[in-house]
Structure 1
Amino acid sequence: MMIDLHAHSTVSDGTEPPADVMRAAAAAGLDVVALTDHDSTAGWEAAQSAAITAGIGFVPGMEVTCRTVEGISVHVLSYLHDPTHPGLLDEIGKAREARMTRAEHMVELLAEDFPITWSEVTNHFGHGTTIGRPHIADALVAAGVVSDRSEAFAQILTAHSRYYVPHYAPDPATAVALVRAAGGVPVFAHPVASSRGRIVGDVVFAEMIDAGLVGVEIDHRDNPEAGRQKLRRIAARHDLLITGSSDYHGAGKPNRLGENTTDEAVLDRILSIGSGTKAYLPGRLAH
């Protein structure tokens, strides 16, 4: 089976609506795909319906944005959690609100040097979208400042830029514990993607494991090979599941659906552990 457990839609920073992501997954030959928008489950219903119509499996997911006390950004993929769990909802709600305030502040700073306004940024996301730097990047592309999102992040929106503004996000171990409390399956997303910025050390990783981390996303284009080997040793030592994913964003990133995949046996383990909601697979209903 071709299984991709990391994809984004316009509910967060992808460029395709949830239903279109499912249709693209089917066209790419995938058998199962997870929708994992940042801090939101708003795309689940449309994605599930489209997946069923397309004849592919659908795993409800979310990517929880976290931050360590040192300011290092960490992402935790959550599969099959209860989308109404109060504790998890409260944390992602605070993070989403902080994202909006942060984005507005960044645009104020950018407007000092570039032809960009908040009104123009709002043209690149819809109601209920989890706002992020990619939407600011899209406005910079539309203004002719850069050619695409990648250039915007490399030159202007990097965390080292004077335009960068941090925002609130839960501690990684707290997020892992909340996902487990919501019946979900937490997986550490692209843990050694050093090209994105600083990565966490062994202490934070250990705290996440102690909090109930279930898996680690190893086969991801942003994890360098040496880092993948280290992650496999950690996974073996702590009996963590190993996943592989595309981190698809439509036209927002070069990542292609199915470029990295997850073994069927790992998916079965995820389905057996998750209890907060259901995954839908052709021919059978799994929990």
Structure 2
Amino acid sequence: MSADRRRILRTTAQLAALTAAGPLLAACGQEAATAGGTAGGGPPHPGASPGTPTVLTPNRIPSATPSATAGGSPSAAATPPVLPPLAASTPVEVVTGPRDRPQIALTFHGQGDPKLATALLQAAEQHGAQVTVLVVGSWLDQQPQMARRILDGGHELGNHTLNHLDISSLSADQAYAEIAGCADRLQALTGSIGRWFRPSAAQYATALVKAQARRAGYEHCLSYDLDPRDYADPGAEVVQRRILGGIRPGSIVALHMGHQGTVDALPAVLEALQQRGLRAVTASQLCS
């Protein structure tokens, strides 16, 4: 065989090999482009301006990737809730809302059996009520789907620490870790740390706790003026009587998920509130 003939055959074979490899090379290029295109940080946390709805986007980078992300949406894909701006007169610690408007806020400690929590949310929604759930972060590790369930029902989410310890007895760094740990889980699951922080095992936040809440991104702590002590399981009738006996316009009621008596009491409570002309709204709506 002549040298020219051998050269032609080698060139033909090389062209055939490149043609066959073409789709593989193209696929590798697409994969690399996709991997390179996913990098990037989230938007900054904007400040609220009067009259403008607040979009609660992440304002802090989680100290560690929370285990809650295993069962929920990552913050990059989550749609942060849009909340009304608070009134300029809203204090650092909110105990009640305005007394001159026919609104009240039912707030719930977010923990316990998810079936009972879901039943409670359904009862509220059937009566046109919106509630505020202050979640315990470790509960979200176990029940990450509840974060979106609460928001998708038109309710509001807030922070009730990571492990529900006696936060008033903790050091500054320990208190911050409890607040920031729950904030990380909320941010990872919903794209927002939420607006409200409620101290655990305390009605009011100490000066130290308020400072650590601000450090974690919370400008306001959410207290309450009515506690029917439903966590002691006194029964639906007692819970109902305690709420309706003490509630008035602007009241913020402290309740708990995971208790059958609370679930059973809620429909009658909401019907009685409607008869009195009182509407159950979120904490942000109450203070807007």
- Smaller-chain TM-score range? 0.3 to 0.5
Q: Name the structure where helix makes up a greater proportion of residues.
A: 2
TM-score normalised over the length of structure 1: 0.34
